[in-house]
Amino acid sequence: MEEEELQKAVYAYLRKKGFRQTELALQEEQNRLSSSAQSDLAVSRLDNDPARYHDAYSKLRSWAYSSLDLYKHELLRVLYPVYIHCFMDLVAEGHMQEARTFFHTFREDHELTHLRDLQKLEGILSPSHLEEMELARSLRQNKVKIKLCEYSYDLLLQYLQKTQSFTMLGIINEHINFEVSAGQPSSISDDADVVALVGSSQDIAKHINQKEVRWGLLEDSVEERLERALSDSEKAEGENKEVDPEDSKKRSVEGAKQGVSVKKLKKDKLVGATGKNIRSETSTVSMAPRVKPELTLPVMTTEVEQSILEDLRNRVQLSSLALPSISFYTFINTHNSLNCSSISHDGSLVAGGFSDSSLKVWDMAKIGRPTKTFTEQQPSANLQGESESVQNEHLLGPEERKRSYTLFQGHAGPVYSATFSPFGDFLLSSSSDSTIRLWSTKLNSNLVCYKGHNYPVWDVQFSPVGHYFASCSHDRTARIWSMDRIQPLRIMAGHLSDVDCVQWHANCNYIATGSSDKTVRLWDVQSGECVRVFIGHRSMVLSLAMSLDGRYMASGDEDGTIMMWDLSSGRCVSPLMGHSSCIWTLAFSCEGTLLASGSADCTVKLWDVTASMKVPRMEENKASSTNRLRLLKALPTKSTPVYTLRFSRRNLLFAAGALSKQV
Amino acid sequence: MSIVPKETIEVIAQSIGIANLSTDVALALAPDVEYRLREIMQEAIKCMRHSKRTVLTADDVDSALSLRNVEPLYGFASGDPLRFKRAVGHKDLFYIDDKDVDLKDVINAPLPKAPLDSGVVAHWLAIEGVQPAIPENAPVEAIVAPSENKRSEHGKEDGLPVDIKLPVKHVLSRELQLYFDKITELIVSRSDSILFKEALESLATDSGLHPLVPYFSYFIADEVTRSLNDLPLLFALMRVVRSLLRNPHIHIEPYLHQLMPSMITCIVAKRLGHRIADNHWELRDFAANLVASVCRRFGHVYHNLQYRLTRTLLNAFLDPSKAMTQHYGAIQGLAALGPSVVRVLILPQLETYMQLLEPEMQLEKQKNEMKRKEAWHVYGALLCAAGKCLYERVKLFPSLLHPPTRQFWRSNGRVATKMPNKRKASSSHLLQQPALKKLASDGTAGSIPPISMTTSMQAAADGFPTPSESGIRPSSSTGQLSNESISGGSRKEKSGGKAPTPSTVLAQAWKEDLDAGHLMASLFELFGEGIFSFIQPVEMSFFL
């Protein structure tokens, strides 16, 4: 309106002044403009036709599929983001029917790699869902980064220009960031970037991963004291005894110990090159740099320390040639209600959390070995009953005395996780009633109920030193607690979906969390900040394990993929393929040479991790494709999915799982 | 279009009392309902994962609903899977069959058995990386794999010390000892009981029996040598061997050297069982099949296994001083190894052997009925072996037989008319030995041949084409040849002339082993019509 008035005023002014020519010129120009605006309008009306997405995408698709083999896989990467954004654009414009047809027509192409995302996106049925759904929102807000080689990029641009497909061009411009690299196209196997199509923006992740992580071990740990003691005595024997590195395992370990003592003398505390100078051939725990604890750690009693020292002296050295012995605890008659299990450090206590809210603890030392017949078992079970607290005995009555376990009741919902304190005298359990309970295995009773989470608590883990523990929940947070406070000490928020599992770093300064948003994050316990985001999983992360030297982390997901991460760089060292179903549990051996994984496909697999760890040290960059971790052994169980794995301090592997009937 | 059609919304609306829901509302609701459904399922799957399961249950859905602060759906407690039924007359309408339950029945019903309480049992999944073969462990290649694995590992990591294992004392658990005692007792004393059958089944399937294999193989070898005249026991022992061989979890290779002699003994021993009536033939057949199966399974591992076996058997077969029973066993043993063995080893000897066998079978020449019976058994076995061999050949080259036979019958009515002639003659011959005929038929599948040894070979000899003839010729001449030989045979009935040996032809035929036609002709000469029963039914129809 205003414009028209203005125009009239201008015309009037021109006429009044007698600028005849100018007036005509203006008129002419105006006509031209308006006509072109009209034609623009026509074009945009054409553009609104929902079919154009379908046409343009199918053209792009057939072009990509018929492109040169060498560049094909790179060009195909572009298709997926274009596909989902086409779909979401259609939804946003309100063409529901067309969006559906479009989605189903091309769905098959992407099912292989993005099935879970597609299943979620399939549910989007109205523009409002786009706002509501986590995944869709983050996809809309963030740009996808795709690596292309120069030539593929040129090819793509040429195609888009030649075919005048502005729809595609628009989508690609709007949602994709190309990272063009000179030279040859990347190999197909090196596909990590495609997977990285997740909620959190790449840049943020990159930024976070710049932060420093001091992954070293704690100063003055028991292990170190033991080593010092040993090396002292060795020095007395004669230090200059030249040790042939390949002579034997033990020797090389001693060599490493000497290394540590030298380092101690130099009084080097933190991360740095000093570690490398004296690093000998084998990668034992002692090689890691030392850091100061950020938390005040509980004091260890001398007895406990003695027992740990004893264990350390008796530790079996494991390697790819010396595989561990595995003791398997099978839960029987669980009627499909066992949700989780936990094994104490020495393997003597086994806890099971059930969906009927109960928590049961078996004392394996008292039950005796499985060869014992039933009649023999009876008296020991009775003994167990008598040793139970008086209160329990009264409550349970004579029938209960036959029980082979101690029953802990208190939760009001399925128990999702249980964890023993490092010395086995406490037990923590988390439940869907959003509480965590602390139990004493000595008193057989509940001590504390920690309320803080708002939704089911999926996982709880004691810190390696005890006293502190971490929990994670459906409320998308992870929390740090100490046993003596009923309020959490820290709340870690940042995951975009449920936090499904949590694990402490060996030095207690960090925790790692795995989430349904397919990322793993590392958090600083002291500051509560996220210091690493690990992107690469294609589905929900179910299990985590930290190597005892603190440098590596393994994570397992719903699809059966295990990923090894280097904490300092935040990069995936190498994916481990082999399992066909959910990885319920992971465990590193004490010296970090082996990784054990337990899965729903009823196997325990042992992986050689030394191979992969050494390569990246030497050549950091080229590591990814060369060093696939070696599967050492797959040990199938008798239709028993493996729920828990735990290496004892002496390197005996304990495993637990519930016998399930084949359907 | 969407998973939830508007009809469903309308139906649900009706079910909660909204009778007239407008279509627009239903259409608008449907997508949202679907979205909510998916949302609930997504949460339910999370709950399922945290319950460490891979199967979604109704409980998971309830948990998911409570996560969303929605009242859970009662009445779908998991237990049995829900069964949906299709509504009659509606293609895509399903409902859960929810029967009315009479409260009285529920109250009066006896209490169900209390479910067993949960427990924990421990076992070794692996000892220093090696999976022990105990019943608790899954039956896998664990028994075979270690040696291979170790080898490959040592190959890779060169220069590593090879650990030498000291001899270990073999400790048997008490359960295994008991098991062994029970089984051996059953074998020795009650091999006809049902329990024994179950024992065999257990031997064939249980995974933890490996430690017992040396004991069993020793026991079997020992018992076989000791009780050769106890036929039921021998039979039971062979059954045990079969079960052990069948057990996929047992690594039987190292014990084969102990088991093979026992099995071969059961094939070619002179006497098995102490009574005349004992059916030792059956045992020989059984053992022969067993040995053949061993050869098939381990032949590629032990290259000389079959060689040694066939040598033993052939020696027994070719030694005229051996008893007929031994010959029988040897033939059955060789026959079980397959038609090619028969072709290479038995057929070349057939001619000579028949000459030896023939007198034994005739009433006039062999007075001892027992011996004659045995000879007929051997004859039956030979016929069977040769016939199977022929059958294989014919199957390989069906074209060889087809045209000539047809031609043969079309062109030659004469033979057909003459056949009865011959049959009469031979059956008259047979009449004398009806019992023997029956015996022989035990061993063979088809009809009994007349004693065609007496058939003249003369016609055949001059009727045979030279072996150098081209591919098509022999086949066409085959018809001619059998034609000739039959007519020759019938001629022979009258003339009773001499039988010049066709061994040259036979030898040639074995060499040119492609020529099934020759083979058949020669066999026909040796066995007469009996051999036709081994030709495929299609061809058979021409002869009937």
The pLDDT tens digits for A556-609 are 998 888 998 988 888 887 788 888 889 999 999 988 888 999 999 889 999 888
Task: Name the residue in chain B with its Cα closest to that of A132.
Answer: B35
Mutation site for A-interface testing, chosen from B120, B131, B149, B158 by largest number of A Cβ within 10 Å: B120
pLDDT of residue B163: 44
pLDDT of residue B508: 53
Contact (CB, 8 A) for B328 and B374 = yes
Q: The whole model's pTM is what? A: 0.56
Contact (CB, 8 A) for B506 and B343 = no
Residues of B in contact with A325 (CB under 8 A): 124, 126-129
**CA distance, residue B182 to nearest chain A CA (Å):** 19
Contact (CB, 8 A) for A171 and A144 = no
The residue among A614, A517, A40 whose CA lies nearest residue A287 is A614
pLDDT of residue A408: 93
Q: Do B138 and A638 touch (CB under 8 A)?
A: yes
pLDDT digits (tens, 9 = 90+) for A237-256: 444 444 344 444 444 444 44
pLDDT of residue A83: 87
pLDDT of residue A230: 62
pLDDT of residue A354: 92
Q: Do A123 and B32 touch (CB under 8 A)?
A: no
Q: What is the mean pLDDT of residues A198-202?
A: 49
Which B residues 82-101 touch A at CB under 8 Å? none
Task: Name the residue in chain B with its Cα closest to that of A362.
Answer: B120
**CA distance, residue B159 to nearest chain A CA (Å):** 10
For B525, what's the count of Cα atoms within 13 Å in the CB-facing half-sphere?
31
Quick check: B141 contacting A, CB < 8 Å? no
pLDDT of residue A231: 62
How far does CA A217 lie from the centroid of its chain?
21
Residue A537 binned pLDDT confidence (cut-offs 50, 70, 90): confident
pLDDT of residue A192: 45
Contact (CB, 8 A) for B60 and B44 = yes
In 3-state terms, what secondary structure has residue B314? helix
**CA distance, residue A74 to nearest chain B CA (Å):** 32
ipTM above 0.90, yes or no: no
Q: Do B122 and A636 touch (CB under 8 A)?
A: no
Size of interface A-B (CB pairs under 8 A): 171
pLDDT of residue A469: 94
Residue A407 binned pLDDT confidence (cut-offs 50, 70, 90): very high
pLDDT, mean of each 10-residue run, chain B (544 residues) = 76 86 85 84 90 87 89 73 74 74 85 83 86 74 41 37 47 81 84 82 82 84 82 85 85 81 82 72 85 82 79 82 82 82 78 78 73 80 79 64 45 42 42 44 41 39 40 40 42 41 54 55 66 56 47
- Greatest CA span in chain A, whole angstroms? 121
The residue among A576, A553, A557 whose CA lies nearest residue A565 is A553
pLDDT digits (tens, 9 = 90+) for A40-66: 544 444 556 778 888 888 888 888 887
Residue A202 binned pLDDT confidence (cut-offs 50, 70, 90): low
Length of chain A: 663
Q: Do A320 and B157 touch (CB under 8 A)?
A: yes
Q: Kindly tell me the burial class for residue B113, based on how many C-beta atoms sit within 10 Å of its own C-beta (0-12, 13-18, 19 or more).
A: exposed
More confident residue, A143 or A234: A143
Least confidently predicted of A224-228, A404-408, A585-589: A224-228
Task: Name the residue in chain B with its Cα closest to that of A358.
Answer: B118
Q: Do A332 and B52 touch (CB under 8 A)?
A: no
Contact (CB, 8 A) for B85 and B97 = yes
Is the pLDDT at A417 greater than 90? The verdict is yes
Q: How many CB atoms lie within 10 A of CB A381?
A: 18
Residues 6+ apart with CB under 8 A from A236: none
More confident residue, A257 or B208: B208
In 3-state terms, what secondary structure has residue B148? helix
pLDDT digits (tens, 9 = 90+) for A449-458: 999 999 999 9
**CA distance, residue A607 to nearest chain B CA (Å):** 12
pLDDT of residue A570: 81
Which among A334, A455, A643 has CB closest to B67?
Answer: A455
pLDDT of residue B78: 55
Is the pLDDT at A111 greater than 60? The verdict is yes
Residue A641 binned pLDDT confidence (cut-offs 50, 70, 90): very high
**CA distance, residue A92 to nearest chain B CA (Å):** 14
Calculate the alpha carbon distances from B84 to B40, B76, B81 in Å: 21, 12, 9
Is the pLDDT at A69 greater than 60? The verdict is yes
Is the pLDDT at A384 greater than 70? The verdict is no
Residues of A in contact with B63 (CB under 8 A): 414, 432, 456
Using H for helix, E for strand and C for coil, what is the string for A24-77? HHHHHHHHHHHHHHHHHHHHHHHHCCCHHHHHHHHHHHHHHHCCCHHHHHHHHH
A322 phi, psi to nearest 5 deg: -115, 90
